[in-house]
Amino acid sequence: MHPTQIVVIAFGAAAIVGTLLLLLPISTSAGNNTTLVTAFFTAVSAVCITGLTVVDTATHWSGFGHFVILILIQLGGLGIVAFATLLGLLISGRISLRDRMNTLSEAKIVGADNVSKLLGRILLVYFGFELILATYLSIRLHFSYGEEVLRSIWHGTFHAISAFNNGGFSLYTDSMMGFSKDMFFIAPVMLAVIVGGLGFPVLIELHERLWRLRLKPGGKPKRFSLHTRLTLWMTISLIGLGALFIGLLEWNNPGTLGGLNTWDKVVNTLFSAVMPRSGGFNSIDISLMDPATWLGIDLLMFIGGGSASTAGGIKVTTIAVLIFIVYTEIRGETAVNVGNRRLPRSIQRQALTLVALSTTAILGTTLLFAATTDFSLDEILFDVVSAAATVGLSTGITAELPAFHQFWLALLMFVGRLGPVVVASALALRITKRHYELPKERPLIG
């Protein structure tokens, strides 16, 4: 099978197994009942590292249910194929050529010769960062909030993994709203979401440059790749512009930022600008935001984070490519140049295709929900974009949707998590060449 088919089957199998486990009585707290749609929605949301829920995660699921959700988040973030390849490496001590192709297809890493070394780096970044954050959060919860040792360790570990994988699941009913005045708790969570949303290629390149200090023969530092430069610049720009936008609209809103002091307003504004990248946590009440703020967050969620990361959306490099395409067309030039590099036409077509498919899925679902439910268009669009971009933020309507609509959103989350990977890989790996060209004819545009 094609590597993209392997990825789809792996994620689908994980979602099915997760659904069956969550249907077990041991997964549900006493007095609660779990339906098939609830279990399926939660399993898909976890393995697709979205964070949308139809029940209260903190009270509905038991400790075993929370553990199942945590494992699904870890598998979905690390990559199921990469995890299976790692197990094969540990058992047999070698990796087959097919496993190498499948792993590179899932992680979207180009030019990696040593897959075992690549997996080692990924695991070092993954588990190292999660361990540091889990330790810090556990200590913070125990000494600052009085949680008992085992409970603080479990809560710290769960939220560290959920944050770094952009999972959005929380063991607190109000997500991070209880920590809105504690910068030393939400700031590390925010940092984990940012790092997890940069992507494996960027993290590996940063590791090589900052820690290994790999130099060229001339003694000059190794130049960042175009992908890393675009990802870092777009990430910084979107967080800054998003924070400015949210701060201006919500600064005096008594339901969100209005009741906080100036410093807490700044911190929570930054937190609210970072979470649409795919983090899914909220430190202020999303349902009380101004509809104009919802629309701006819709755009941030649609763009998402970095390619080959735990974040969702169409990815920051995709929107950067589109910006340069428009800029090139306005200038009347023929080649799309970024910095001192020229973008291949295949990359331009992939970016346009991803945006077109994602937009079609979002608009189609929004139209369906608007025609068959009584919720406002603002609320529907927000939750639909959140599902398609695997973010997890919600205005509160997801839990109130009929079972069919919840099932539809679960499928949208699955497509949102795998669709861009599958489409991009298929376009990159299945390129057919024609031995002739048809005559040109220009239709009118605009």
- For the chain, the domains span 3-214+223-429
1: confidence class by pLDDT, cuts 50, 70, 90: low
The SS3 call for residue 215 is: strand
What is the reported pLDDT for 85? 47
With a pLDDT cut of 90, the percent of the chain lying above it is: 58
What is the reported pLDDT for 346? 81
In order, the DSSP letters of 316-381 are: HHHHHHHHHHHHHHHHT-SS-EETTEE--HHHHHHHHHHHHHHHHHHHHHHHHHHHHS-S-HHHHH
With a pLDDT cut of 70, the percent of the chain lying above it is: 83
What is the reported pLDDT for 82? 57
What is the reported pLDDT for 24? 95
| pTM attached to this predicted model | 0.87
- Asked whether 72 and 46 are in contact (CB, 8 A), the reply is yes
340: confidence class by pLDDT, cuts 50, 70, 90: confident
Phi/psi for 96 (5° steps) reads -75, 165
Q: Taking 60 as the threshold, does the pLDDT of residue 428 lie above it? A: no
Helix 3-23 vs helix 97-107: angle between axes, to the nearest 10 degrees? 80
Token pair listed for 31: 């007095």
Tell me how far apart the alpha carbons of residues 304 and 275 are, in angstroms, rounded to a whole number: 10
What is the reported pLDDT for 412? 93
The SS3 call for residue 221 is: strand
Q: Which of 275-289, 300-314, 422-436 has the lowest mean pLDDT?
A: 422-436
User: Tell me: the pLDDT tens digits for 260-282?
Assistant: 999 999 999 999 999 998 899 99
- The DSSP output letter for 61 is B
Output the CA angle 336-341-347, nearest 5 degrees: 55
Instruction: Compute CA distances 190 → 168, 393, 411, whole Å.
Output: 12, 15, 28
What is the reported pLDDT for 91? 40
What is the reported pLDDT for 431? 54
User: Tell me: the pLDDT tens digits for 46-75?
Assistant: 999 999 999 999 999 999 999 999 999 988
79: confidence class by pLDDT, cuts 50, 70, 90: low
Distance in Å from the first CA to the final CA of the chain:
42
User: Tell me: the pLDDT tens digits for 163-214?
Assistant: 999 999 999 999 999 999 999 999 999 999 999 888 877 887 787 776 655 5
Which residue, 285, 280, 52, is CA-closest to 159? Answer: 280
